[in-house]
Amino acid sequence: MYRYDEFDAQFVKERVSQFRYQVERRLAGELTEDEFKPLRLMNGLYLQLHAYMLRIAVPYGTLNAKQMRMLAHIARKYDKGYGHFTTRTNMQFHWIKLVDVPDILEELASVEMHCIQTSGNCIRNVTADHFAGATDEEIEDPRPLCEIIRQWSSLHPEFVFLARKFKIAVGATPHDRAALLWHDMPVEIVKNEAGEVGYRVYAGGGMGRTPYIALLMKDFVKREDILAYLEAVLRVYNQDSRRDNIHKQRIKILVNTIGQEEMQRRIEREFEEIKASGSLQLPQEELDRIKAYFAPPKFETLDDEMPIGSYDFENWKKTNIHKHRAPGYAIATISLKAIGQTPGDISHVQMDALADLMDQFGIDEIRVSHEQNLVLPHARKRDLPAIFARLQKLDLATPNSGLITDIIACPGLDYCDLANARSIPIAKDIARRFENLDRQHDIGELKIKISGCINACGHHHAGHIGILGVDKKGVEYYQILLGGSGAEDATVGNIMGPGFSAHDIGPAVERVVDTYVKLRQNGERFLDTYRRVGMEPFKNMAYLEQMYAAH
């Protein structure tokens, strides 16, 4: 994985001092909260319901064992002993004191980590496929480009006071695991007819109150031109976005107001000029230098046989193991969705133990997925039973990756200042209802995503079943959306109708799922059945109880 050189190290160190000075000025009353807010947000610091929340960047979801231990240490020393992995593959601590933040940043810098641009109206942490570098499906590892984008976007003088936040993801596989088209600017690694590798760039995806799937901006951008093109997109956005209504300031609104063609035309004009100036052209040497950091580990020549183990191990294998590019290796997903637990939460004990496990089994890096799970990208197949046994002891061996209990949920009203409703108890309730593993396997791939407010941090628009928490006169209600997708067939889910109470939402979801089980044909997934039969049958069943109650 990437290692800082002297320049990166100095940059992050100076950024810590810069922020320390900002905190000093805030504590001394020289900065108003209004003035301090964008500065702290640019460093991942939120003021939430109970305390400050600090969001630590995990660039493209990659961590080494040392960094994992540091996160455990921070959880122990500065928080309540646990942290939370987010849908942007970052780590959040929810019980932080403002005075401690500069020291935390300094500790993070010692293991090449930071909080730069994990929030605020700037270019956010760049995400990628969590199987990057390990799957045989990809054209190439997307992370070198992510790292190049990370550096280019770090304190970019022109783009740190954008109209709104700006999210970039890089994909490299036909099957999208990074919710690519939901980003402000998705970048897809592609091969053209001549066999050259380049980039397809989209713009204008986003969740929030007005969900949009990104539209194509340019079919093929040459390797050396990619930063020039990205800069062109950002410049058009910075110049032309509305600034008069916070709900209409994302790039998705600009793109859909002026239209795809006009957006393409404006970008093209900037692109030609930036390209001609040559200053952002990416030299092959720099690309090679960055790529070298992401070279795959030296794979041993191993027997490709998959070990057979206990009943539990076999169940885990069914869902949590994915094909690796090298024989004798596997990609293993560590579920952070134990039944009854908060999705994405992890304790300091678990983090330390995972770091030990990585060391013991020679796994250099671990990944965070946008689905709030962890991934061991390069595990030897023969080690899997031992790894599984360790994970079981840590309560990290839940065999539910991709199943109905593998629920995405934002922190919701339990923590978040913006939320209208709690998400975590709903996620826990639904997971308990479907705890039976045979039933989960029978239901198959079904992605439930829960947001506690319209900001959609829990990706409810992209859920096969999405759940949106709303507030009706001080009471929490939950709307159901059906048919969303965050994969390569990205679609926006449709709202079913009026919301359910916290008490009724679980049973309503069960009725929706039971309806699917009755209606499905020939191995259809929930999403396929919904696409075939539409909303009506699900809606009729979901509201059934209410109808009886009303008559």
Partner 1 sequence: MPLIKDSAFVQDAFVTVADDAALPGGAAIVSLARFQKERDALLARNAPLGIQLKAPENPELLGEDVQRFSVIVLEFPAFRDGRAFSWARMLRERLNFTGEIRGAGHFLYDQIAYMKRVGFDAWNVAEGFPLEQFHRALTEITNVYQPSADGKKTIRELRATPRP
Nearer to partner 1, 77 or 289 (CB): 289
Q: Out of 85, 131, 152, 538, which residue is the one contacting partner 1 (CB under 8 A)? A: 152
Residue 21, C-beta contacts closer than 8 angstroms, at least 6 positions apart: none
CA-to-CA distance for 427 and 406, rounded, in angstroms?
9
Position 4 contacts partner 1 (CB under 8 A): no
What does the per-residue mask of binding to partner 1 show for 327-366, with x meaning CB under 8 A? ----------------------------------------
Q: Which stretch binds partner 1 (CB under 8 A): 7-15, 45-53, 108-116, 492-500?
A: 7-15
CA-to-CA distance for 72 and 90, rounded, in angstroms?
14
Nearer to partner 1, 242 or 539 (CB): 242
Residue numbers 161-180 binding partner 1 by CB under 8 A: 161-163
Position 155 contacts partner 1 (CB under 8 A): yes
Residue numbers 297-316 binding partner 1 by CB under 8 A: none
Report the phi/psi class of residue 372: left, alpha or beta, with left for phi > 0 and alpha for psi in -120 to 50: left
CB of 397 to partner 1, least distance (A): 41
Q: Which stretch binds partner 1 (CB under 8 A): 111-119, 184-192, 276-284, 336-344?
A: 276-284
Position 158 contacts partner 1 (CB under 8 A): yes
CA-to-CA distance for 519 and 532, rounded, in angstroms?
10
Nearer to partner 1, 134 or 187 (CB): 187
CA dihedral 22, 26, 29, 32 (to 10 degrees): 100
CA angle 299, 302, 305 (to 5 degrees): 130
Q: Which two tokens stand for residue 389?
A: 């046994």
Position 284 contacts partner 1 (CB under 8 A): no
The separation between CA 488 and the C-alpha centre of its own chain, rounded to angstroms, equals: 15
Q: What is the per-residue DSSP string for 150-192?
A: HHHHTT-TTSSS-SS-B-EEEE-SSS--S-GGGSSEEEEEEE-
Nearer to partner 1, 251 or 492 (CB): 251
Q: Find, among 339, 486, 469, 474, the residue nearest to 416 by Cα.
A: 469
The helices-and-strands tally (H runs, E runs) of the chain is 18, 21
Q: Which stretch binds partner 1 (CB under 8 A): 14-22, 45-53, 358-366, 528-536?
A: 14-22
Q: Which stretch binds partner 1 (CB under 8 A): 108-116, 260-268, 285-293, 494-502?
A: 285-293
Q: Out of 1, 51, 160, 544, which residue is the one contacting partner 1 (CB under 8 A)? A: 160
Q: Which residues contribute to the site for partner 1 (CB under 8 A)? A: 5, 7-8, 10-11, 14-15, 17-18, 21-22, 35, 38-39, 121, 151-152, 154-163, 235, 238-239, 243, 273, 277, 279-280, 283, 285-286, 289
